[in-house]
Chain A
């Protein structure tokens, strides 16, 4: 590593290490957060959205690009592909906004020991991500529903729904799983985790090799991908969100249908649980059955 100048240059292996580190850790955490059930209090959902503190911490301590992209890849691989929840093309939007938000948060911190800076950056990261997602969601409905203005109450309700979920995510997930852990971890890990990767801890004067990272090619690819993702996502949501909302569809199945489908899913779930339990009992109890969350 050429440390003499304070330009933050990394060898390709160090980049790979940061990438692998971020990917494995955030991926693992994502598996857990995907499995933690949400607590729903009316329209307010207390869910553990994500452990944003992991990429936030790593972005603040290391080069943010590799940590941010690593985390996003980790989410796709561990949290989605492995759990069979990969949403296909729609994931692109999440990938881009999340990486971008984490990157910005990482760039905001100049001194990892400055708690105020770390705190502000952590919250900013979460807010940017949530804001982007909310705006994208609202935009999708806007574009997706042909007669958006014509549907009474749709516009405000969409904004309210997105706004509430935005506030939820920022205030609940953002505080508990981004702000507090990041404040706890960054100063503790600073100067400790870097030597393990053979990297010199960054200092105030450390500058990133900006030219190498944000090339016109990257920017253009990013924009193109964002547009593609956006279009794909809005097309995909056209239909189901509000498309046929008020179209007066013939009430062939009535309310029973939805309960039927819900019940079917519940029955399958119940049967699966019963089968699993029966098998488990047949095989006698598994080791370490203490409950975990």
Chain B
């Protein structure tokens, strides 16, 4: 609780915004972000699915190691790692207690360790790809792999609009605070404070909905004037948009390197 409390005290909307923006945009120089997005997405698909079917500890540990390396290479912010770790503590700890409760014993520890490893591999793979890659590239990659144009646009639009939304949210929240009354006593476990902020959080969405509605209208109108809906129906536009995607030697090396490494893991595990 102490951890959470001090963590809470450390958190500000500004800080969260900053960290998220860093995650989203700060990856321009990461070595992985130069790879072809389609290759990275295929790579991700492998590491998002395959670990679930593997129960061999060596292979999982090896994959975990690899994910740690790629995560470091993609220069993810500490904040994301923190969220991941807290999530793992919650999820796995809870499962462990549950397993004891339902008649499990120490023997369930190993499966749970494996579970932790699997979860970590999948999460780190997703962090590597989705946090380490420029949102533009993700959306191009998804478009190339056949996702609807509206989705891939929404993705990059989401990144564009996030700072604006945060700014607006901050102002609204500030308005409530400047004109509201915080509880005088924090209450047991800060529950009064938590309730106060939760209430503000919910209330904030009333003005926010109206403001966002106003904005959406301009945005969609502007999209119309710039040929967006025209481009959605136009295959030439999509082709043009994706023309810059090229599979280079680097991509092939990355994919084959990964493949060799994974096969090596299986080979080693088979020998053990």
Residues of B within 8 A of A235 (CB): 52-53
A128 CB, min distance to chain B CBs, angstroms: 22
Q: Which residues from chain B contact A77 at a C-beta distance below 8 Å?
A: 154-155, 158
State whether B20 touches A82 (Cβ < 8 A): yes
Q: A38-B90, A88-B45, A251-B106 are in contact. List 13 more A-B contacts (CB 8 A).
A: A13-B220, A86-B126, A88-B44, A185-B209, A193-B213, A239-B53, A240-B114, A261-B92, A265-B85, A269-B3, A286-B12, A288-B14, A291-B9
A residues near B144, Cβ cutoff 8 Å: none
| Interface residue? A148 (CB, 8 A) | no
Interface code A60-89, partner B: CB below 8 Å = 1, 0 otherwise?
000000000000011001100111111111
Interface residues on B, range: 35 or more
Task: Please indicate the chain A residues that have their CB under 8 angstroms from the CB of B173 in the complex.
Answer: 292
From B197, which residue of chain A is reached at the shortest CB distance? A293
Q: Which one of B138, B206, B210, B216 has the highest number of Cβ atoms from chain A below 10 Å of its Cβ?
A: B216
Contact indicator B11/A291 (Cβ below 8 Å): yes
Instruction: List residues of A (247-284) whose CB comes within 8 Å of B's CBs.
Output: 248-258, 260-262, 265-266, 268-270, 272-273, 275-277, 280
**Inter-subunit contact B109/A292 (CB<8 Å):** no
> Which B residues fall within an 8 A CB radius of A?
3-4, 6-16, 20, 23-24, 44-45, 48-49, 52-53, 55, 76, 78-90, 92-94, 96, 98-99, 102-104, 106-118, 122-123, 126-127, 130-131, 138, 150-151, 154-155, 157-159, 161-162, 165-166, 169, 173, 193-194, 197-198, 201-202, 205-206, 208-210, 212-214, 216-217, 219-221, 223-224, 229
Q: A197 contacts which chain B residues (CB < 8 A)? A: 213, 216-217
Chain A contact surface mostly: helix
The reply to whether A28 and B96 contact each other, CB–CB distance below 8 Å, is no
A215 CB-CB contact with B under 8 Å: no
A14-22, A101-109, A114-122, A206-214 - the one binding chain B:
A14-22
Whether B229 lies near A21 (C-beta < 8 A) is no
Q: How many residues of A sit at the interface, in one of the four size bands?
A: 35 or more
The chain B residue with its CB closest to the CB of A289 is B12
Question: Can you name 13 A-B pairs with beta carbons within 8 Å?
Answer: A20-B157, A28-B166, A51-B205, A73-B151, A83-B80, A84-B127, A161-B98, A185-B205, A239-B52, A250-B110, A252-B110, A261-B116, A268-B85
> Complex Cα distance A254/B87, Å?
23
Check A159 for interface membership: any CB of B closer than 8 A.
no
User: A261 — which chain B residues lie within 8 A by C-beta?
Assistant: 92, 112-113, 116-117
| A27 on interface, CB distance cutoff 8 Å | yes
Which A47-65 residues sit within 8 Å CB-CB of chain B?
48, 51, 53-54, 57-58
A21 touching B106, Cβ below 8 Å: no
**Is B209 within 8 A of A277, CB to CB?**
no
Chain B residue numbers with a CB within 8 Å of A85 are: 83-84, 87, 123, 126
Chain A residue at smallest Cβ distance from B76:
A84
